[in-house]
């Protein structure tokens, strides 16, 4: 009996075994029908006396059946080779790939693929298939692709025994730093002594993106407060010495965040995503994108922002850099109110005014706050230019806050409760400051630079909630005060004018019983805004006479005999008129009671007006004028009656 060991072609083997058994059965029948005895041991036959013809036919049929069995065995072996193209033929054929294993995020890749034939047969009909990684852009190859539209298939010429074929492929690879890209290759071929098809399955090589051509970074607050503005800055930097074109920056923000302001309008948006196109990022160049938005009031836990930087190649965007940033939402359980001159809203103030501030703070949460400090910023501006309007030396503060870099700071050293600001606790800080006089800052003011304002805002900074480190900053309400225009009023009594021409008459010093006449000069200088309803008033003493000799370059100057008031009114004083002036004459005749005295020529003079911009009343005054004529350059100091 012949036996065949089973392999994966079980059906064929079973058929062979069946045929073998059938042959043995036929042989048994033959021997049983003749003169040969068939015993249980098929290896032994007992010969009977038969004729030569019978022995001939017996041998003929035995050899014929044995030949049939040998043919069937060969057919099974042939079938095995047909069903398994990866069999004997590929053992002596090898395929290898070598690439530069480390590139930058936009880098050139050169790969060499080699096929070696160590078989005795020539390799024919070779077809190489290369599978490129995502982000690979084919540029050229030492052997042209089989199809212009498909750069992955290459037909190789025949490889003789012990011969080899090489192909070099060049391309650009786009990828994120630390990413690993895999390139695969497979080979189909035949051998010239066989009609079978063979295949070398996918082999691979890895290419690591080891450096960043460009980076993207997100800068933002570690802790955020719901219903408050939060600002995020995204920086894109070119780390290379060459410009990069066709970039796209994309920002993905959390659902609870509502953007409301961008430093540059986005090119597009989709749900929680905005993007900007960057046509060219110059060598070593850097750009910034700013986003300001508000988190919803129910925001809790961590809030993640993501930024990606892609480069466009043949209308396909490839990722080359990304960054993420997480902000933690902190519940705002601190209240901070700022009050100025009794109001939480800004009211116009004037040069030289006193500013009375109150800061009211409260922890209305259920957790203790630690490492707390409060700071106060008060600054004057003309447009964007900072002006020194605050007289810091005038600070009056019972809590002894200290001034640092134009701010007042209170820590737990000044206010003990700030070291542990307990749940439900509150406090108040009161302090006073004075604004500088206009003469102190006139050199800083640009007459064409715009309005002057005072900006005031306070912050309370919390270092810990219970024992958890945070960086919580709560701002108070902001107070912005317009600064009223400054009307500088000047009042002088003169005998000689600035040109040393006598504008008065009579004896100087004045003499008893003799009349001396003086000239009173008024002037108003405007600085910031148009004014209206300007009024200047003074009262003449009983021994001073009105001569009715007057001059006024604008407005109306009158004398009331009953009240003895001199009143100068101007309905409107535009800013373009830098100064308005008026003058009038008065006379005195000293009596014996006036001997050796300096006489009062006018009592205090008062100016009032309305600032046309702030609609606030402004005022100024000058002291009484006397016969001593302190402003007269020639006879000043000669006012004692003789």
> Which class for 485: exposed (0-12), middle (13-18), buried (19 or more C-beta within 10 A)?
buried
Distance, CA of 18 to CA of 614 (rounded, Å): 116
Give me the pLDDT at residue 173, please: 84
Structure tokens at 261: 């302001």
Q: For 88-124, write each residue's pLDDT tens digit.
A: 344 689 999 999 877 888 888 999 999 999 988 999 9
- Note whether 374 and 421 are within 8 A (CB): no
Nearest residue to 465 (alpha-carbon basis) of 372, 373, 375: 372
Asked if residue 164 lies in contact with residue 116, where contact means CB atoms within 8 angstroms, the answer is yes
**Quick one: residue 637, left, alpha or beta (phi over 0 = left, psi -120 to 50 = alpha)?**
left
What DSSP designation does 89 have? G
CA distances (Å), 511 to each of 23, 257, 593, 597, in order?
170, 86, 12, 11
pLDDT of 240: 83
- The residue ranges of the chain whose pLDDT is under 50 are 1-20, 23, 27-28, 30-50, 75-90
Among 209, 216, 146, smallest CA distance to 173 is for 209
pLDDT in tens, 123-149: 999 999 999 988 888 989 999 999 878
pLDDT at 9: 41
DSSP H helical ranges for 375-447: 438-441
Longest dimension (CA), the chain: 197
β-strand 197-211 against 102-104: which pairing, if any?
parallel
* pLDDT computed for residue 88 by the predictor: 39
pLDDT score, position 316 = 81
Alpha-carbon span 165 to 157, nearest angstrom = 8
The pLDDT, as a whole number, for residue 411 is 92
What is the structure's pLDDT at 260? Answer: 92
What one-character DSSP code corresponds to residue 60? H
Distance CA 17, CA 136 (A): 56
Q: Which strands sit side by side in the sheet containing 153-156, from one edge to the other?
A: 102-104, 197-211, 180-191, 123-131, 153-156
Q: Find the helix or strand (DSSP H, E) in which 29 lies.
A: helix 10-33
User: Do residues 474 and 334 lie in contact, with contact meaning Cβ atoms separated by under 8 Å?
Assistant: yes
Orientation angle between helical segments 52-83 and 10-33, nearest 10 degrees: 180
* Residue 626, pLDDT score: 95
611 Cβ contact partners less than 8 Å away, ≥ 6 residues apart: 348, 484, 485, 529, 531, 617, 618
Which helix (H) or strand (E) segment is 66 a member of? helix 52-83
Q: Is the dihedral of CA 415, 416, 420, 424 positive or negative?
A: negative
pTM over 0.75: no
Handedness of CA 160, 161, 162, 164 (dihedral sign): positive
446-472: burial string, b at 16+ Cβ within 10 Å, e else? eeeeeebbbebbbebbbebbeeeebeb
Positive or negative: CA dihedral 68, 73, 74, 76: positive
Instruction: Show the tokens assigned to 480.
Output: 């912005």
End-to-end CA distance of the chain: 167
Place of tokens 């900053």: 473
Strands (E), 91-134: 93-99, 102-104, 106-117, 123-131
- Helix, strand or coil for residue 136? strand
Which DSSP helix (H) or strand (E) runs through 518? strand 516-525
How many CA atoms within 13 Å lie on the side-chain side of 633?
6
């Amino acid at each position: 009996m012949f036996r065949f060991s089973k392999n994966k072609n079980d059906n064929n083997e079973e058929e062979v075994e069946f045929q073998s058994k059938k042959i043995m059965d036929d042989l048994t029948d033959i021997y049983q029908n003749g003169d040969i005895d068939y015993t249980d041991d098929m290896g032994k036959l007992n010969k009977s006396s038969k004729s030569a013809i019978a022995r001939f036919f017996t041998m003929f049929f035995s050899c014929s059946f044995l030949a049939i069995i040998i043919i069937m065995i060969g057919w099974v072996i042939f079938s095995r080779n047909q069903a398994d193209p990866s069999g004997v033929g590929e053992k002596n054929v090898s395929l290898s790939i070598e690439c530069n294993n480390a590139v930058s995020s936009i880098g050139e890749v050169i790969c060499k693929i080699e096929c070696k034939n160590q078989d005795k047969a020539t390799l024919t009909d070779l077809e190489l298939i290369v599978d490129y990684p995502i982000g690979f852009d084919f540029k050229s190859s030492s052997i042209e692709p089989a199809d212009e539209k498909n750069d992955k298939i290459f037909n190789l010429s025949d490889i003789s025994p012990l011969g080899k074929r090489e192909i070099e492929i060049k391309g650009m690879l786009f990828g994120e730093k630390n990413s690993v890209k895999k390139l695969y290759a497979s080979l189909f071929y035949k051998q010239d002594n066989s009609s079978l098809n063979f295949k070398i399955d996918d082999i691979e090589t890895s290419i690591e993106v080891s450096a960043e051509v460009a980076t993207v970074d997100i800068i933002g607050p570690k802790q955020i407060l719901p219903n408050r503005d939060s600002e995020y800055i995204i920086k894109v930097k070119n780390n290379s010495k060459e410009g990069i074109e066709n970039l796209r920056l994309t920002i993905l923000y959390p659902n609870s965040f509502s953007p409301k302001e961008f430093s540059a309008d986005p090119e597009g948006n989709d749900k929680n995503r905005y993007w900007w196109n960057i046509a060219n990022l110059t060598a070593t160049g850097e750009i910034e994108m700013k986003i300001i938005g508000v988190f919803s009031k129910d925001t809790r836990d961590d809030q993640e922002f993501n930024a990606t930087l892609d480069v466009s190649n043949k209308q396909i965007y490839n990722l080359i850099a990304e960054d993420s940033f997480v902000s933690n939402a902190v519940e705002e359980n601190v209240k901070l109110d700022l009050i100025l001159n009794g109001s939480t809203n800004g009211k116009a103030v004037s040069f030289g005014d006193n500013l009375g501030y109150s800061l009211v703070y409260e922890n209305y949460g259920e957790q203790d706050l630690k490492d707390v400090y409060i700071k106060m910023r008060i600054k004057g501006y003309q447009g964007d230019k900072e002006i020194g309007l605050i007289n810091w030396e005038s600070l009056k503060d019972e809590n002894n806050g200290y001034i640092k870099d134009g701010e007042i700071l209170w820590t737990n050293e000044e206010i003990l409760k700030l070291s542990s600001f307990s749940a439900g606790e509150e406090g108040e800080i009161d302090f006073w400051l004075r604004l500088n006089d206009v003469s102190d800052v006139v050199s800083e003011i640009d007459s064409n630079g715009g309005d002057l304002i005072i900006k005031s805002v306070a912050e309370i900074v919390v270092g810990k909630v219970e024992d958890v480190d945070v960086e919580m900053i709560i701002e108070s309400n902001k107070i912005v005060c317009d600064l009223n225009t400054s009307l500088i009023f000047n009042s002088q009594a003169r005998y000689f004018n600035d040109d040393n021409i006598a504008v008065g008459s009579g004896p100087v010093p004045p003499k008893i019983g003799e009349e001396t006449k003086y000239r009173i000069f008024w002037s108003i200088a405007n600085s910031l805004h148009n004014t209206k309803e300007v009024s200047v008033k003074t009262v003449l003493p009983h021994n001073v006479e009105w001569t009715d000799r007057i001059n006024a370059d604008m407005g109306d100057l009158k004398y009331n005999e009953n009240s003895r008031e001199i009143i100068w009114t101007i309905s409107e004083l535009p800013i373009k008129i830098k100064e308005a002036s008026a003058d009038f004459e008065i006379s005195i005749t000293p009596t014996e009671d006036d001997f050796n005295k300096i006489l009062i020529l006018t009592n205090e003079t008062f100016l009032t007006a309305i600032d046309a911009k702030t609609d606030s009343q402004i005022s100024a005054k000058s002291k009484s004028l006397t016969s001593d004529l302190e402003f007269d350059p020639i006879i000043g100091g000669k006012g004692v009656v003789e």
